[in-house]
Chain A
Amino acid sequence: MPDLGFDIAHMLAGSLVLVSLMMLYQDRLPALINVFAVHAMLLAGSVAWQAYVQDEPQLYITSAIALGFKGVMIPMALRRIIFRLGIHREIEPVVSTGLTMLAGMALVALAMVVMLRATPEATPLAREDLAFALSVLLLGLLMMVSRRNAVGQVVGFMSLENGLILAATGARGMPLVVEISVAFSILIAFIVIGIFLFRIRERFDTVDVQVLDQFRGERP
């Protein structure tokens, strides 16, 4: 069955996009983090499948990193953070769920149109993968833009990075060194952002970034 490899890769990447869309309308932080964990695990599965299909064993390491760091460690750490900050029960006002979802769907369509037209000579697998990766990336950006809470923005950033990794593995052979360094830089960014979250909280009693604007005198 020559097409099974393509079908499964397609399914995994497609569900990644689906989970990205799911993240858009999560208005409670613990639920958001759970969905993010699913996102990362799906990424790990997708990368592992790519490793199997392309017969490139080092991609298994990428997959393991994705699973370990993003699927387990970061969600756990985030969960600890929100519980320590005591914002796990807060309902985050999402900018009009319906509108955001519509915008997300438009972005996915845009990504498909652009990528499928721009890469006519690539293999179908790479084309689909790139299109889905661009969708995930755009949805991650949309989430960073539409969230007011700093934790929500961090999760958006992480899911954006998942899109990058998906694109890189689909395009055959991102060197392992690059992959590991990207993973570590993400981790470090996560740590720095985590520390900042506490500092912000200490000073302003909230992690709602709108309050920062008020502090700067931008808004009354």
Chain B
Amino acid sequence: MTPVDFSLLCNAALLLLAPVAVAIAAARPAAWRAIYLVSLVLTFTMAGSSIAFALSGAPASSEIFPLGIPWIGAHFREDMLSAVFLAVVNLGAAGASFYAIGYGKHEAAPGRVLPFYPLFIAAMNLVILSDDAFSFLLSWEFMSLTSWALVMAHHRSETNRHAGYVYIVMASFGTLALLLAFGLLAGPEGNYAFETMRGTAPAAAIGWLVLLLVLLGAGSKAGIVPLHVWLPLAHPAAPSHVSALMSGVMTKVAIYAVIRIIFDLAGAPEWWHGMVVLVLGGITAAIGVLHALMEHDLKRLLAYHTIENIGIIFIGLGLAMAFQANGMGAAAALSLTAALFHVFNHSLFKSLLFFGSGAVLNATGERDMEHLGGLIHRMPQTAFAFLIGCAAISALPPLNGFVSEWMTFQAILLSPSLPQWGLRLAVPATGALLALSAALAAACFVKAFGVSFLGRARSPAAARANETDIWSRTAMLIWAGLCLLFGLFPALAIDALGPAVQSLLNSRLPAQAEIPWFLLVPIAGSRSSYDGLLVFMFITASVLLSVAVIHLLASRAVRRGPIWDCGFPNPTPLAQYSAGSFAQPIRRVFGTLVFRAREKVAMPPPGDMAPAHFDVDIHDLAWEKIYVPVAAGIEFTAGRLNGLQFLTIRRYLTLVFLALVALLLVLAIWT
């Protein structure tokens, strides 16, 4: 059986699982375990088969069914690139299913989640397997709709309904843009199969339009600034394992669409296409992390970090386009490998972090960090796994997030050899944005972990929290282990990405597994190298050594004294350093510019018993400057056109007549 047949069969099984879920969920409320278990088995085997396929380097296998548009049919194909993304999607889905076997117990309305869950996974797989525009768009829209249904699972809350509305509008807009992009690529003959699109290179103006439409269409799904507004609303609204899927996996499907269209279908990119993607990526990374710093809702904070990481991936893609356009194959391969590796890494640690936030949400009922605190005592294993995730997303060695960001920086450092001045200036500027966002991400996760898990409980719910169930804990610990594994031995993943990069760019990184001592040498040994294992061993050894030194040499005398109270003699937990306090310095530096942040302090006059007030006013400029005016414009136009519904017959006739004459005039002038 060819790999594509196997994947399609597994997806058919996932699609069939939905009606089973509908039937079972109504009859037996406790059936969630079976559904998630079957999803786990199916996605895990699919992940395994696609990893085996990616490692084998075998030629692509394809399949055509007589469905869809009659004269084209439904094409499905599994090549090296789709194998990589199938592995990412199915590994993420397997993790979410494993976690949900335990987490599903807390679901209030399983009937609203269970049927859509396997459909959502299958839809993402089908997007990646599609090999013609019709199947692609159909699966893409199916993915949007099933994920929308999952966002609306808890539809009683007003914020969730708002999130669902914004999401569906943005998703439809994105699909429209992709539809137009494929229409341009297909040309006047309507070659909707990817095979024929690959063969024909579009004209320069068409290539530019396609890039723009892809950035609008797939970029809105991935969360590029300023198309990101739906993401921090919709991702947290879903149940936590679905949030992990949407943030960790669905955004990667959008990245897949970008790579598939720009690198595979649209012919050779021009250098300034790369610059557009690069600069957008840099802005997205910086804005995403600044938003995350201002956010005190744990799940929304994670969603904003997804935007930041999408920005990092786009920086890699833009660099790959710029290098490829200048014929610098090795540098392009390094950038694309870094981007693909970050895709994989982000899916690992973002899933892990959403699992952790779901565990916290179940244990305390709180997403607001200002009501958490001290959870490390109540949920030690969750705290440990979450800490690993925080370190990985903050790009700390020896974890996996560091390796891919380090590789992106290595690619940025190659920019002086680029011939175009525009790129020579833009790439280091983007590198500065990337460095800024990496540093701010670390600060943000110090806040997230410190305020949620350290200190003392800020609410009774946090004080009474219990450790989460065994399935969820195991899933989190396995995923934390994976983060460490790919940080110590990145060569495993980088070599597996080699054939995919080779198929797109005709060049790849040298095989890393043959270099001794697990050293990572992306360009040349004299230039830069990284050894995760060495760093890990050094950290372990120095920690053990210092512990030993302290135990051997320190005085054993015990002295008791009052604890230092940070200048706050009042011992209530509310006097602790809070998430808002943590964000304040950064808000003061960047906030006035980026968010128009204003602080208001209302201090009652002496003698007045009223409490003092401190308010922070933050604006999302993307929402206020782009979306609100566009919505107002549509509202205004619609209001004006409303009159068209109440015209007399003669005026309707006049309209028809004028339209006809106008069309004829266009025909007369243009032909």
Q: Is the CB of A144 within 8 A of B667?
A: no
Q: Is the CB of B657 within 8 A of A110?
A: no
Q: Which of B65-73, B305-313, B631-639, B642-650 contacts A (4 or more CB under 8 A)?
A: B642-650
Q: Is the CB of B668 within 8 A of A114?
A: yes
Q: Is the CB of B653 within 8 A of A114?
A: no
Of B646, B648, B654, B661, the contact of A107 (CB 8 Å cutoff)? B661
Instruction: Give A144-186 as 1s and 0s: 1 = Cβ < 8 Å from B's Cβ atoms.
Output: 1100100001000000000000000000000000000000000
B671 at the binding interface (Cβ < 8 Å): yes
Of A110, A114, A209, the contact of B650 (CB 8 Å cutoff)? A209
| B671 partner residues in chain A, CB cutoff 8 A | 117-118
Of A111, A114, A142, A212, the contact of B648 (CB 8 Å cutoff)? A212
Assuming the A-B contacts A110-B664, A110-B665, A118-B667, are A218 and B657 also in contact, with contact meaning beta carbons closer than 8 angstroms in the complex?
no
A113 at the binding interface (Cβ < 8 Å): yes
A9 at the binding interface (Cβ < 8 Å): no
Q: Is the CB of A142 within 8 A of B657?
A: yes
A138 at the binding interface (Cβ < 8 Å): yes
Of A114, A138, A148, A153, the contact of B667 (CB 8 Å cutoff)? A114
| B656 partner residues in chain A, CB cutoff 8 A | 141
A213 at the binding interface (Cβ < 8 Å): yes
Bound Cα distance A209, B646 (Å): 15
Q: Is the CB of A113 within 8 A of B650?
A: no
Please tell me the size bucket of the interface on B.
Answer: 10 to 19
**Interface residues of B, dominant DSSP:** helix
Q: Is the CB of B653 within 8 A of A144?
A: yes
- Distance of A148 from chain B, by nearest CB (Å): 8
Highest count of chain B CB atoms <10 Å: which of A111, A141, A209: A141
Q: Is the CB of B661 within 8 A of A209?
A: no
User: A170-214: which residues lie under 8 A (CB-CB) from chain B?
Assistant: 209, 212-213
B660 at the binding interface (Cβ < 8 Å): yes
| A216 partner residues in chain B, CB cutoff 8 A | 648
- Distance of A184 from chain B, by nearest CB (Å): 23
In the complex, what residue of chain A is closest to B654 when comparing beta carbons?
A: A145
Bound Cα distance A76, B52 (Å): 86
The size of the chain A interface, using a CB distance under 8 A, is 19
Of A117, A145, A148, A209, the contact of B657 (CB 8 Å cutoff)? A145
- Distance of A169 from chain B, by nearest CB (Å): 22
| A111 partner residues in chain B, CB cutoff 8 A | 664
Assuming the A-B contacts A117-B671, A141-B660, A145-B657, are A209 and B665 also in contact, with contact meaning beta carbons closer than 8 angstroms in the complex?
no
In the complex, what residue of chain A is closest to B652 when comparing beta carbons?
A: A145
Instruction: Give A63-97 as 1s and 0s: 1 = Cβ < 8 Å from B's Cβ atoms.
Output: 00000000000000000000000000000000000
Bound Cα distance A209, B651 (Å): 11
| A141 partner residues in chain B, CB cutoff 8 A | 653, 656-657, 660
Highest count of chain A CB atoms <10 Å: which of B653, B656, B667: B653
Of B648, B654, B660, B667, the contact of A218 (CB 8 Å cutoff)? B648
Q: Is the CB of A209 within 8 A of B648?
A: yes
| A153 partner residues in chain B, CB cutoff 8 A | 650, 653
Bound Cα distance A110, B653 (Å): 19
- Distance of B479 from chain A, by nearest CB (Å): 65
Instruction: Give A99-113 as 1s and 0s: 1 = Cβ < 8 Å from B's Cβ atoms.
Output: 000000001001101
Q: Is the CB of A138 within 8 A of B661?
A: yes
**Interface residues of A, dominant DSSP:** helix
- Distance of B288 from chain A, by nearest CB (Å): 53
Bound Cα distance A144, B653 (Å): 7
In the complex, what residue of chain B is closest to A147 when comparing beta carbons?
A: B650
| B664 partner residues in chain A, CB cutoff 8 A | 110-111, 114
Q: Is the CB of B649 within 8 A of A209?
A: yes
Bound Cα distance A110, B661 (Å): 8
Q: Is the CB of B650 within 8 A of A117?
A: no
Bound Cα distance A111, B667 (Å): 10
In the complex, what residue of chain B is closest to A209 when comparing beta carbons?
A: B650
In the complex, what residue of chain B is closest to A213 when comparing beta carbons?
A: B648
Bound Cα distance A118, B654 (Å): 25
| B660 partner residues in chain A, CB cutoff 8 A | 138, 141
| A213 partner residues in chain B, CB cutoff 8 A | 648
| A107 partner residues in chain B, CB cutoff 8 A | 661
Instruction: Give A3-38 as 1s and 0s: 1 = Cβ < 8 Å from B's Cβ atoms.
Output: 000000000000000000000000000000000000
Instruction: Give A102-139 as 1s and 0s: 1 = Cβ < 8 Å from B's Cβ atoms.
Output: 00000100110110011000000000000000000010
| B657 partner residues in chain A, CB cutoff 8 A | 141-142, 144-145
Bound Cα distance A110, B666 (Å): 11
- Distance of A108 from chain B, by nearest CB (Å): 12
Bound Cα distance A138, B671 (Å): 20
In the complex, what residue of chain B is closest to A110 when comparing beta carbons?
A: B664
- Distance of B484 from chain A, by nearest CB (Å): 70
User: B605-660: which residues lie under 8 A (CB-CB) from chain A?
Assistant: 646, 648-650, 653-654, 656-657, 660
Q: Is the CB of A117 within 8 A of B661?
A: no
Highest count of chain B CB atoms <10 Å: which of A118, A145, A218: A145
Bound Cα distance A145, B650 (Å): 6
- Distance of B666 from chain A, by nearest CB (Å): 10
- Distance of B668 from chain A, by nearest CB (Å): 5
Highest count of chain A CB atoms <10 Å: which of B646, B654, B661, B665: B661
- Distance of B431 from chain A, by nearest CB (Å): 57
Bound Cα distance A142, B653 (Å): 9
- Distance of A18 from chain B, by nearest CB (Å): 21
Q: Is the CB of B649 within 8 A of A110?
A: no
Bound Cα distance A113, B664 (Å): 9
| A144 partner residues in chain B, CB cutoff 8 A | 650, 653, 657
In the complex, what residue of chain A is closest to B648 when comparing beta carbons?
A: A213
In the complex, what residue of chain A is closest to B671 when comparing beta carbons?
A: A117
In the complex, what residue of chain B is closest to A219 when comparing beta carbons?
A: B648
User: B552-569: which residues lie under 8 A (CB-CB) from chain A?
Assistant: none
Bound Cα distance A145, B655 (Å): 9
| A209 partner residues in chain B, CB cutoff 8 A | 648-650
| B654 partner residues in chain A, CB cutoff 8 A | 145
- Distance of A151 from chain B, by nearest CB (Å): 14
In the complex, what residue of chain B is closest to A137 when comparing beta carbons?
A: B660
Bound Cα distance A88, B661 (Å): 33
Bound Cα distance A118, B663 (Å): 13
| A142 partner residues in chain B, CB cutoff 8 A | 657
Bound Cα distance A113, B661 (Å): 12
Q: Is the CB of B668 within 8 A of A117?
A: yes
Bound Cα distance A12, B671 (Å): 29
| A148 partner residues in chain B, CB cutoff 8 A | 650
In the complex, what residue of chain A is closest to B655 when comparing beta carbons?
A: A145
Bound Cα distance A110, B669 (Å): 10
Q: Is the CB of B646 within 8 A of A218?
A: yes
Bound Cα distance A113, B667 (Å): 9
26 A-B pairs with CB atoms under 8 Å apart are A107-B661, A110-B661, A110-B664, A114-B664, A114-B667, A117-B668, A117-B671, A118-B667, A138-B661, A141-B653, A141-B656, A141-B657, A141-B660, A144-B650, A145-B653, A145-B654, A145-B657, A148-B650, A153-B650, A153-B653, A209-B648, A209-B649, A209-B650, A212-B648, A218-B646, A218-B648
Closest 7 CB pairs of A and B: A113-B668, A141-B657, A145-B654, A114-B668, A114-B664, A145-B657, A114-B667
Known contacts A153-B650, A209-B648; 17 additional CB pairs below 8 A are A107-B661, A111-B664, A114-B664, A114-B667, A114-B668, A117-B668, A118-B667, A141-B656, A141-B657, A144-B653, A145-B654, A153-B653, A209-B649, A212-B648, A213-B648, A216-B648, A218-B646
